[in-house]
Structure 1
Amino acid sequence: MNDFGPKRPMPEDALCESTDTVKAKRGRPKKKPDYDREKEIEALQQKVIDLFGEPFDDRVERSEAAPSIREIAKALDTTPLTVRKMLITAGYYSTKHSREVQELYEQGCTIQEIMEQTGLKRASVHGYLPYTKGNYNLPELPLNAERRRVYRRRIAVCERLMQEINSPNAEECLWDAIVAFAGYPFVTEKGLPLKYTVEGGEIFFNRKEKSVTRATVMRAFHQARTIQESEGCVSGPKKLGTFGASYLYPVFLRIGVCSKKSEIF
């Protein structure tokens, strides 16, 4: 007998607790049970891309109105190095150093070998390499792969246009570039965002109801080239003297048809 009285017999049909019951794990509960690091990084990268808008390539002129890496880092309360690395991962940032580092890395060179061949410090080499799933939990998203494919395509058509700009194939190369840059985020001289689609031989700008025909584009192209060769630059859209000039002008600047400022050699 104990302090609680005699022990009463347990009925035969009483449920007995299984000895195989697994005890709940002990530990401090998560402060943010719904937090997903991978999704958070994906979301941050998407914000960086959206804010950056126009990709950067030191071989191609970029709009003066396009935001800088430092401005985006400040807006997102992160570091410029993080922003740049995310842009590199998405295929939105390309310089001589980044291309050289990535090419050597793809050839199988170690970080030390890349440092020796480029003269860059270890931190700089890592800074020019894209994130991988292993080192930052950032997966190779199909969307990013598609962006890089489109980006490489745009660079290729611009390079071909520059090679053929004074040849009989210039108009065909120009139209290839126009098609490749459909959906690209341009900015007008007044700072207004601009995009377009191409249907057949017409360009439909999102800020204009009427389309701009291929024939109009070619007239503006030849006018731009004439002014570029005689004056060294095309100072503004009015110089083109065609329908839709204010929208064609930023496109021409981006793909290399003309420059806004005279280049002095």
Structure 2
Amino acid sequence: MGEKRKYKARKPGGGRKKLKPEYDAGKNLKRQMESAVALYDSEMSLQAIADALVLNPIKVRKLLITAGVYESDVAEKVQHTFNNYRETQSYKDAILSTASALKLSKASVTSYLPYEKGVYFPSTTSTEKISVAAERQRRYRAVRKLRTEPTEEHLWDAVLVYSGVRFKTYSGLPFSYEVRKGRNGEYTKELWIDRRENSKSLAWSSVLLALGNVKEVGAVVDRPKALGDIRGVTYIYGMFYRLGLINVPDEVKEKMKHPKNHKK
């Protein structure tokens, strides 16, 4: 027998080299997702998007769900049911339970869920992490829901997605607001109005008082005080007009007109 070779310690990071070191599944998924969202934002159908990207329409839908811009009654029901089971079950078991409860195939359930691996952008994801098209879709959906059903929940959803966006007051002064998180990581029910050097807080209770005084969605409200003698109503008036809850007199519209670039 030959001489036994001396053990050689393995260098950190050693091992088989990747065949495609430049390949990144997460980046590829994100790239596909952004392309799908951009086309979806231009109101193309799932089939048309699939043809343009050379993908299956089901994969396109899954990409849009992962990006947080696609919605349907079926998708919402599947995701809600799955999330309930997922609290106590593994991912695989939760899929099987959802399929059984909704009488769907496993493949159908999976097709309505976001990608498990890669980048997932639920509706609460920070806007800095999503594309401009996805952000625009998110705002469109939030405002549509609010105008259809002006509840506190829908108003809060709209307020969150419009954080940092420029508004204008009755007199045409620009402002924006920020919604901050507390120590527990949850959003506080308080809006911080940014007006030049000063920041003022606007209580959520004040916003709800004004919401209660909106008699008809889209109706003309002559002036801020018509929404009530509420602290910060000047800002609430500008927000409600931008969100479509109220309309304003014609002579005021030009002053409250917003530029195409909504960000500061």
- With normalisation by structure 2, the TM-score equals 0.46
Report the structure number with the largest CA radius of gyration: 1
Give the TM-score normalised by structure 1: 0.46
